[in-house]
Amino acid sequence: MSTKTTIPSLLKLKDYVTLTGTIIGMIALICGSFGTRYAVSLGFFLISITLGTDLIDGYIARKTGTVNEMGKELDSLSDSLTFGIVPAVLTFQAFKTGAFFDFILLIGSICFALGAILRLARFNILADPGYTGVPTPVSCLLMIGYFFFNYFHAFAYGGLTYPFLDISYYFVPFLLMFIGWLNITTYIKFGEKGKSVYIVFILLAPLSPIFGLIGILNPTFIVSITVSIIFLIAFIMLLGWVLLHSFLLNLLKKRRKKNNTG
C-alpha cells in the first residue's frame, strides 16, 4: 500500500488519460441536461470518444507497468460515470415522450446504470483474471449504436424534430433492463485479458465517433439512411456476439463436464 497521500504523487500518466475521459463524460452529461436531440446526439458522440480513452489508459498502464490500486479505483469510478450513468441519462432524454411510459423508461435507465456500477464494483473485488458479465464499455457501445440508428433514420425523413420509430420508444426500456442484467449476470464470462472483447471493441468502437461526426454535419437522405443501417447492423452484430458468446461458453462447459465424468 502506498504511503503517499497527495493526489499528484498518486497519479500516473495513464491516470491523466482516465481523467480526460471523465471530463469528457461530464461534458456529455451536461449535454444531456439540455434535452434537445442535437445536444443528446453530441453527448453520445462525446462518450464514444471516452471508449478510446478507456482503451488508451489500459494500454499505457500495461506498457509502462504502472498498474496500481489508485488507477484501478479511478478507472472504475470513471467508467461508472461514462459507461453507466451518462448513457442512461442520454437515453432517457432521447426517448422520453412526456407520457406515463416515461416511468418505465426511467426504471430501465436506472437498471442500466446500476448494472454498470454493480459490475464494476464486483470486478474490483474478484480475483478472477477474466470478465464476468458484459464489460461496461460494450454495454455503452450497444446504447450508442441503438441511439444513432434511430437518430440517423429520423434525420433522413425529417431532421432533428422528426420522431423516432414507434417501436423504438417501446423497446428501449426493456433493452436497458436487459443490458443492465447482462452486466451483472454470471452466465456470460470472458477469458483472461478478454482478447475477444478487445477485438470486437476495436472493430466497432471507431464507428461511433466517425459516423457521429457525420450527424453534426447535416447529412443528406442517402447518407443518413446508409449510416442508420450501418449502426443497426453493428448493434445487432454486437448484441448477437454477446448472446452467442454466452451460449457457446455454457455449451463448452457442459461438454467438458460430460467428458470429465464420462
Pick from 65, 66, 75: which is nearest to 20 by CA?
75
112 domain residue, yes or no: yes
Q: How far apart are CA 53 and CA 10, in angstroms?
A: 19
Q: How far apart are CA 95 and CA 35, in angstroms?
A: 10
pTM over 0.85: yes
106 domain residue, yes or no: yes
241 domain residue, yes or no: yes
The confidence score (pLDDT) of residue 8 equals 79
Domain span holding position 227: 81-261
Residue with cell 414507434: 166
- When divided into structural domains, the chain yields a total of 1
Pick from 226, 238, 106, 229: which is nearest to 172 by CA?
106
- Residues 6+ away with beta carbon under 8 Å from 69: 1, 2
Buried b / exposed e over 80-103, threshold 16 CB at 10 Å, is bbbbbbbbbbbbbbbbeeeeeebe
67 domain residue, yes or no: no
113 domain residue, yes or no: yes
The confidence score (pLDDT) of residue 62 equals 76
Cβ-defined contacts of 218-223 (< 8 Å, 24+): 219/152, 219/155, 221/156, 221/157
227 domain residue, yes or no: yes
The confidence score (pLDDT) of residue 113 equals 97
Sequential pLDDT tens for the chain (262 residues): 555 678 877 788 888 989 999 999 999 999 999 999 989 999 998 998 898 888 888 778 777 777 777 878 889 899 999 999 999 999 999 999 999 999 999 999 999 999 999 999 988 887 666 678 888 998 999 999 999 999 999 999 998 889 999 999 999 999 999 999 999 988 777 665 555 555 665 666 666 667 666 666 678 899 889 889 988 998 998 898 888 776 666 666 666 666 666 5
Map the chain to HEC letters.
CCCCCCHHHHCCHHHHHHHHHHHHHHHHHHHHHHCCHHHHHHHHHHHHHHHHHHHHHHHHHHHHCCCCHHHHHHHHHHHHHHHHHHHHHHHHHHHCCCCCHHHHHHHHHHHHHHHHHHHHHHHHHCCCCCEECCCHHHHHHHHHHHHHHHHHHHHHHHHHHCCCCHHHHHHHHHHHHHHHHHHHCCCCEECHHHHHHHHHHHHHCCHHHHHHHHHHCCCCHHHHHHHHHHHHHHHHHHHHHHHHHHHHHHHHHHHHHHHHHC
* C-alpha cell of residue 58: 489500459
15 domain residue, yes or no: no
Name residue 132's beta-bridge partners: 189
26 domain residue, yes or no: no
